[in-house]
Structure 1
């Protein structure tokens, strides 16, 4: 019998509602859910590929252990017991920091994993923590913490009401938004222009978004900070600074003016590649727009000065009166309030409390930047990383200098990967623990609901039952944390506490944790409990949780969401300041000391060497980092892993369409075909991220046949962002040369005959 199930696509941040028509375990069709109030029936090609991922023969469905004879299946008890024991033994021999953790991008798409990460982190109690954060959005989190008091307080563009939308280094038509969850973005941008608004894109490439923009400006990669400084200089110079209602909450406005007064459009024009007149027009257009929203994303936040750039984007919104107002950038009021809950749990943010062993890089929110991960494994001495835990991550492809990390992983004493596949990273593991697939667990998005362009909430039950002898992510992570705590327990009291926590977690399950969060949220009736938690601390949560879950409740609960399978629209974003500020004095300091110091030493950029070009990434709607290339639907057709290059540069290098070029740096080299296009700046090349699945031992059949190469094999860990030492992935100089063309078979035979003669 055919059944239609309403679900949420979890392959990117857009949270598109889908309807899955299936007969038993056979998927017949995947379509957009027209009754989803947020996505309004929109889906991109990734949603249909959920069928490929669900049925993928390469997907692991039971724990496996690496032996001299290859991978062999083992039981869950054996896998979890051995993993906990081996990790504990490494820490006993080498110290707690000898174990490192890495969490990948898909972790944020799995509510069960998000709820149980912290207990595992606490059980291992290591400073060697890493994640995709430091190859992606760390500058945004740092700026949110410094300005608003909480690393998850992201100002979100009110795209449905703005009159002027400025996008710097982002491509929402390909990404469906990023730290701006915005499904059906194409129609939302059409509506913006239809009501007389403007979409302005600043990017080294004429992206898909730039292609529909009212205005597009090419900008030299890595120079965003200079453009932003010049725009702010013009605003002060021409008396266009007008914070409006926020003025009474601001400190540091005069400091900002002094710091930017010398960064004139004339001073930065050569570095940026935009004329002084165009820079002044940008500043004036922002200032005179009735409602404006300035948004910067990956191209900006993975550049040489991304810390300053992300901060200046927020500052620009503030001083033009566009923070916390309709049509500007606003804060969500999420049903599951990860911002407030994080603050209560001591996760509001931190920076530079301690530094990494090898390079002395600063921690952010308890994590080190991925740029030091391989060296922490390769460098001998006290504190050397000897064991590694990954969850839903593939840093060999997603972090700079994948070849160096490859070498580092080979030398570990023990490694475990919680992953669905044997990929470039997990192939080094001793044990792989595969969780249930995307359609075998419920879907709830506490992170992406908190960065959505409207206040929305939705829970989707799993369309397919959890297979027998399978575990969800939260069960794996909780099982490891519990076993590690038991191994470390020294007293009977500790053992009893561990047992009690284990019983509580298993009884709650992931759905119980969702229900609790909703009841504690702003649409629930647990406000008094939240206030009590703020006063007494999160350690009282278990007792208060049971009281709240057992009591009568008229507010929003999990049952409410189950009764509304298409999701619930909670309304547009609303003004929230100063009540929502988490700073101690509920004020906003425009120039925290961190940024003041960084601006003092900001150099004027140098032009790349004559034989070098600046490389940037490239997003495609049918891809998302490295983890979707084993779907034939997503990789079919002409290869998208190529080097986009301007005709002028192609002529200079004497290469034609489809010819191979070699990209090289101190890290290594790769060879890829050329795509010649005027949609990229001269002197710049663009290569998509996450390709190149040809390493030995990778068991991804479709991905291996798709070809390509990893751009991160050329990007070195020696080139880091100036303040946080996070990965620099855009605006990196690389050497580009035409590849030697193979000799034709006829010519080769002629040479051989001549030689024989």
Structure 2
């Protein structure tokens, strides 16, 4: 009992960890060997989680802004009544669609967000966004049209691992990242291929490092796909059985000038051909792309080329390749093959992908003189002032709102601008979970128990309770006695029948999660009321994939299987494997009507053959700045205390030796980095892993945090003081944080 099972909340892997307490302090942290995915592995970053748990800027009571801009403490009854009334007032005056929601959970706290929809639907709110709209929506859009599903690379069983714009040694994002990379690198039968401008830690291990010129990934990948076609290395028999539009795509790719595209990319043609041949002749290839390309020019086109590469070589739907996972709670919604089509935002007309408005248009949607502009925002467990492009513009937009309410753990940059701040427990003080469950062939879910209670003297409410109270304040929650009686007298079987009958009322269907929280929730063991929203998800998954659930060791038939899966989730503090794939199952999970890969996306295929002569350059801003590099001591910004960083405390500007010498910059000297949006002064780190003309700043810095004397100070550069909202992908609206035109100068002492 000295060690408490929980999980790291710093990246999408959410590795299992165990924490030993000394009072409220995290005395020791270690990997949880019982965790079904991480199996005891953890990197160095979660070992510092006490800096999150016991940070000085923790919120302890609900706050309301005074007319002079300061905050006053209020009680929860007042906060709930006024917040609900404020949103209802905006709805009544301008319509529910003018209420905007941002967030819903960071890397590890999605459970609370599963209740937010009840409050928003009750108000008639239609628009939302979160961090995925800054990263993954281009990939989502391409995957929807080609596959009707997203895929995950099976690194444990692949012969070739291909990383595009990804450095898992530091960013992780894949299970047991460092041991997995070492295993692949050391096995002479396997290969590691990395596409990245920088010689990263992952690239150092690679058999083939394609050091692409910054911003030219699309040219490089188009050349690689063209090699596969023009050397006739495509998987003809497999494609005949599993894909359509093959002839159309092959004809387009035959016209690509490989030598010309190779020259633009900065990678030798022969090395490109070697990499393409290795991929095409391997028994299995697992592809992972990440922010290095998803936040760069041509990001959606690059995602399309990635999927073409693995599709044309037959690396989808098999062991060791890219497979559609079986998620417990799907984070991605698809519309291309269903009755719904992509919507657009009301002011900018930006494409809404997977229900998400591009984050780069939020300020425009607020500040425009338009009858449907966003007038109120609910921000939950997110910090868009710091995380969304063009922070000055975002601050201007939030100031223009009629109402801004923030639910969070700490007094963030966004919370400081709010009309009301509603404090929630930390991720280790409540029941929590992540919905980033995208593994194959085994998939798992980890419902995390509280490690400790809220701080003494605080008045916090978990997010499910906040949303339930807001719904009740709106008057949309009915008398729940019949549902409670059905559960008490007939158990969950009778409750299920009564609950389904209740949902025939469209108004009550909107608040289904709150109804579960108030009825089923209190009956769950150990105070796990927040887990009530998982009950229908367990039943839906068991009904859709019963064989996969039973292969994972959960027994039962029909509704009994769903109940036993839900009970297993509740009972296992280190997580449970809930599905296990069988060879051949994955292709059946494609969302296309014919369960085949649709290779042609005409508007992207035409671009692939005519990419131009390379990214545009500006002599006034001759450098390419990667704003937000992940390093050994950077993580997501729940780490607000700068003392957590053991190295690179100030967040250095990395620059190659040749550029440093030309600019007269020595290690540790100050450099001024200027973009079209802003300017910062930062110390220099000379790093020979970068190409000339390419510089980088880390993510996670530039946060205001109180010192020991309570006075706030800012450490390092906030990347989005330098980025521009208009620099975004034309298809998905994702930002170009990894390709910011910049000027670098020495600062005279």
Higher mean Cα deviation, 253-262 or 458-467? 458-467
1:515 match: 535
Give SS of 1:449's match: coil
Deviation at 1:627, TM superposition (A): 2.7
* Structure 1 residues 269 and 502, CA gap change in structure 2 (3 angstroms): closer
Q: C-alpha displacement at 1:320, in angstroms?
A: 0.6
8 A contact 1:349–1:364 mirrored in 2: no
Residue of structure 2 in register with 1:644 after alignment: 654
Q: Distance in 2 between matches of 1:642 and 1:247?
A: 52
Partner secondary structure for residue 589 of structure 2:
coil
Would the aligned equivalents of 1:158 and 1:573 in 2 still touch at CA under 8 Å? no
Match of 1:476 in 2: 466
Alignment-derived partner of residue 48 in structure 1: 47
Residue correspondences, number: 701
- Quick check: 1:315 aligned with 2:308? yes
Residue of structure 2 aligned with 1:203, choices 183, 196, 199: 196
CA contact (8 A) 1:333 1:522 kept: no
Name which of 654, 674, 698 aligns with 2:684: 674
Instruction: Tell me, in whole angstroms, the C-alpha distance in 1 between the residues paired with 2:227 and 2:155.
Output: 25
Residue 402 of structure 1 pairs with residue 391 of structure 2: yes
| Match 1:587 to one of 593, 596, 609 | 596
Does the CA contact (< 8 Å) of 2:317 and 2:587 recur in 1? no
Q: 1:618 aligns with which of 623, 629, 633?
A: 629
Say whether the 8 Å CA contact 2:235–2:313 is kept in structure 1.
Answer: yes
Aligned equivalent of 1:76: 76
Counterpart for residue 19 of structure 1: 18
Deviations 1:144-196 (A, max 9, x none): 211222xxx3221111111211111001111221xxx41x2111122223332
Q: Residue 259 of structure 1 aligns with which residue?
A: 252
In structure 2, how many angstroms separate the alpha carbons of the residues matched to 1:443 and 1:502?
16
Q: CA deviation at 1:560?
A: 2.1
- The Cα of 1:37 is off from its aligned counterpart by 3.4
Shift of 1:452: 6.0
Distance (Å, rounded) in 1 between the aligned partners of 2:558 and 2:430: 25
Q: Please tell me whether residue 100 in structure 1 is matched to residue 82 in structure 2.
A: no
Is 1:627 aligned to residue 638 of structure 2? Answer: yes
Say if 1:485 and 1:656 are closer, same or farther in 2 by CA, change over 3 A: farther
Q: What is the distance in 2 between the residues matched to 1:254 and 1:525? A: 34
- Work out which of the residue numbers 227, 233, 243 in structure 2 matches 1:234: 227
TM-score by length of 2: 0.86
Give CA deviations for 1:344-371 in whole Å, capped at 9, x if unaligned.
x9998966433441x3322223332111
Following superposition, the deviation at residue 324 of structure 1 comes to 1.1
Give the whole-Å Cα distance in 2 for the aligned partners of 1:160 and 1:366. 32
Structure 2 counterpart of 1:753: none
**1:445-484 aligned within 5 A:** 445=434, 447-451=435-439, 454-465=442-453, 469-484=459-474
Query: Is the 2:406–2:420 contact (alpha carbons within 8 Å) kept by the matching residues of 1?
Result: yes
Q: Distance in 1 between matches of 2:251 and 2:285?
A: 25
Aligned match for 1:185, one of 168, 177, 180: 177
**Whole-Å Cα distance in 1 between the matches of residues 673 and 373 of structure 2?**
32
Moved more, 679-688 or 456-465: 456-465
Call closer, same or farther: CA 1:259–1:484 in 2, change over 3 Å.
farther
Is the aligned partner of 1:143 residue 2:142?
A: yes
Tell me how far 1:265 sits from its aligned partner.
Answer: 2.4
What residue number does 1:294 align with? 287
Residue number in structure 2 paired with 1:443: 432
Inter-CA distance 572–660: structure 2 relative to 1 (3 Å threshold): farther
1:459-491 Cα deviation digits (max 9, x unpaired): 332222467843212222343345446499xxx
Tell me how far apart the structure 2 counterparts of residues 373 and 94 of structure 1 sit (CA, whole Å): 18
Contact 2:138 2:731 in 1 (8 A): no
Write the deviation string for residues 311-365 of structure 1: whole angstroms up to 9, x where unpaired. 221121111111111122223234x25379x67x9998966433441x3322223
1:754 is aligned to none
Matches of 2:40 and 2:145 in 1, distance apart? 38
Q: How does 1:308-457 map to 2 (within 5 A)?
A: 308-334=301-327, 336=328, 338=330, 352-357=342-347, 359-445=348-434, 447-451=435-439, 454-457=442-445
Shifted more, 78-87 versus 256-265: the winner is 256-265
Structure 2: distance between partners of 1:337 and 1:608: 43
CA 1:433/1:191 → structure 2, altered by over 3 Å: closer, same or farther?
Answer: same
Confirm or deny: 8 A CA contact 2:337 2:592 kept in the other structure. Answer: no
Structure 2 residue 156 is the aligned partner of structure 1 residue 164: no
Of 615-624 and 218-227, deviating more is 615-624
Structure 1 residues 95 and 562, CA, compared in 2 at 3 Å: closer, same or farther?
A: closer
Query: 1:44-63: CA deviations, max 9, x gaps?
Result: 23322332322223211221
Q: Secondary structure at the match of 1:424?
A: coil
Aligned mates of 2:506, 2:144 — CA distance in 1: 35
Please state whether the residue corresponding to 1:102 is helix, strand or coil: strand
**Shift, 1:69, TM fit:** 6.9
Query: Is 1:692 equivalent to 2:702 in the alignment?
Result: yes
Distance 2:514 2:571 in 1: 30
The answer as to whether partners of 2:118 and 2:514 remain within 8 angstroms in 1 is: no
> Does 1:10 find its partner at 2:18?
no
1:541 aligned partner: none
What value does the CA root-mean-square deviation take over the aligned residues? 3.3
Deviation at 1:297, TM superposition (A): 0.9
Per-residue CA distance 1:378-432 (angstroms, 9 max, x = gap) = 2223223322211111112211111111122223222101111121111100101
SS in 2 for 1:117: helix
Of 699, 723, 728, which residue of structure 1 is paired with 2:731? 723
The structure-2 alpha-carbon separation of the partners of 1:613 and 1:293, relative to structure 1 and needing over 3 Å to count, comes to same
Structure 2 Cα separation of the partners of residues 229 and 498 of structure 1: 45
Q: 1:147 to 1:525 in 2, by over 3 A?
A: closer
Q: Which moved more, 1:119-128 or 1:209-218?
A: 119-128
CA gap of 1:108–1:674, structure 2 versus 1, over 3 A, is closer
> Which residue matches 1:538?
none
Deviation of 1:684 (Å): 0.7
**Pairwise CA distance, 1:23:** 5.6
